[in-house]
Amino acid sequence: MDSLNNAKVLANYITKFHRFEQANIHIDGRFAYSGNGWYPYYDRDSVRTTIQMAKIGYEQTKTVAEGNVAEKASFQLSPEFAYYGKVRVEASHPGLMLDGSTKLAHPCQYNKSWMAFKDTVLAKQIQIPILENPKDAAGRNLAVGFVWRETERKDSLRIYPAFLSVKEGPQDPSVFSASGYIQYNVARKQFELGSKARLDRTDSLSNLLVLDAETCELAGFGAINLGIETGEFKVDLYGKIAYDRTLNKTRISANAKVQIPLDNSILNTMADQFKASENATEWGMKKPIYGLRNSLSYWSNAKEAQEVFKDFDEEKLKKMPAGLQQTFILSGLVLESFGSDKPSAKKNDKGLLSAAQTVGLISINGQAINQPVELTQCYVQCFSDQCNPSLIWELQTFDNTRYVLSYEQDKKDGLLSFYSSDKAVLTAIENIKAEKRQSKNFKYEPIDETAASAILAKLRSYLLNK
């Protein structure tokens, strides 16, 4: 049959998803034709761009077309996403099947790298897949969220924010990350990165990373990792992490689930001391600002979280559900990065430090407490053989009972020093034989008030130089 020149092709006559223009088509039969042409692409704002399709034909009961966008073409899927690479269109699907690279367009001072991907996108809501360990088109590791700069030099040690930027160091450990898909929210003028369910607002628990395209504030919501090696002293945070560009500080507002391999007798003695305090005030665990329900749901499940709040409302919350029986559950923590980048402070420690001291002690060893306490925390980062990652806690109850916990991670081995002004708690520790206070890579020991004072002096020095 004759060829058709400068033709228009509709694919297909039922779905009408795609059209081709200026097409040169050779028809070989009712279900056989081939050619080439131009594909008009309309983005979210109905801005038209044409893509040259080197191949248009009929394959396996449907029309398909294939083309290629060159990098120098400066093609945009939307004003926020540039693209170059292969393009495929199928009549049965409204999207573009892409196999190429994209780069974000925004005014913020984050390194913008071309990222390779393969997926189908819809023009009205571009969503680009982001793997857990993304790489740029050149194969370099990209950072997504908040990352510790792994270095032995304390003057270079810091948490840095990254939004699909090349990692400063290939082994830099993550504090917060997100994966799934990235999209631009027009109404909120922000990039959002998370699972499709999170982006669609059908999931409120998985990690979400947000970049405000106007203020350039970067914030993460979900599970947060200290990024500091604390061995068997496990601290899991859930909440919000953000970077303040004015102060050059990372700030974390979160709830915490803490697991420490202490003997039950010690923890039960602590819990008894709290429960015996008849005049203690109650922590406002239901306040939305603390987001405790989401934290408990993430650590366990929605049913057990609901059970906690139901028992609380009915004034019968005595014990946490099985999935929430941790050493401590804390609410309302606020941590900030500390440590100067000035050359004069190149030997100073850096890490995360309490920015607010009154927090909620929700439970001890699965026993409900729900009382406010004064808690000062410090977590010290180190990647050098000349120092060890460490942490200090100072916890004080409403009746001025004091606890001091100091932990240091020496390679694989961790040592926890424990002090309490409550003699019953110290006695509970001392009654446990030394060999019973240690496991493969962890041990704990009681300390006296003099040793505790020396630890607190160090904590005060961090607070003065934050």
Contact 351, 339 (CB under 8 A): yes
Q: Is pLDDT above 60 for 244? A: yes
pLDDT tens digits along 299-335: 999 999 999 999 999 888 999 999 999 999 999 999 9
* Confidence (pLDDT) at 424: 95
Reported as a pLDDT band with limits 50, 70 and 90, residue 29 is confident
68-78 pLDDT per residue, tens: 999 999 999 99
Spell out the residues 6+ positions from residue 314 whose beta carbon is closer than 8 angstroms to its own. none
Please list, in sequence order, all residues whose beta carbon lies within 8 angstroms of the beta carbon of residue 182, skipping any fewer than 6 positions away.
Answer: 104, 127, 128, 130, 164, 191, 192, 193
The percent of residues in the chain predicted with pLDDT above 90, rounded, is 78
pLDDT on residue 37: 95
| Neighbour count for residue 231 (Cβ, 10 Å) | 19
The share of the chain scoring above pLDDT 70, in percent, equals 98
List, in order, residues 6 or more apart from 282 with CB less than 8 Å away.
370, 371
Q: What is the pLDDT of residue 32?
A: 85
The mean pLDDT value of the chain amounts to 93
pLDDT given at position 103: 94
Contact 179, 144 (CB under 8 A): yes
> By three-state DSSP, how is residue 72 classified?
helix
pLDDT at 111: 84
Query: pTM for this one?
Result: 0.92
75: nearest Cα among 123, 135, 120, 9:
123
* pLDDT tens string 329-380: 999 999 999 987 665 556 789 999 997 689 999 999 999 999 999 999 999 9
Cα–Cα distance measured from residue 165 to residue 140, given in angstroms and rounded to the nearest whole number: 10
Q: What is the pLDDT of residues 196-229, one digit of tens each?
A: 999 999 999 999 999 999 999 999 999 999 999 9
pLDDT on residue 341: 65
* For residues 97-126, average pLDDT: 94
CB 238 within 8 A of CB 298: yes
Neighbours of 460 (CB within 10 A): 12
pLDDT band at 422 (very low <50, low <70, confident <90, very high): very high
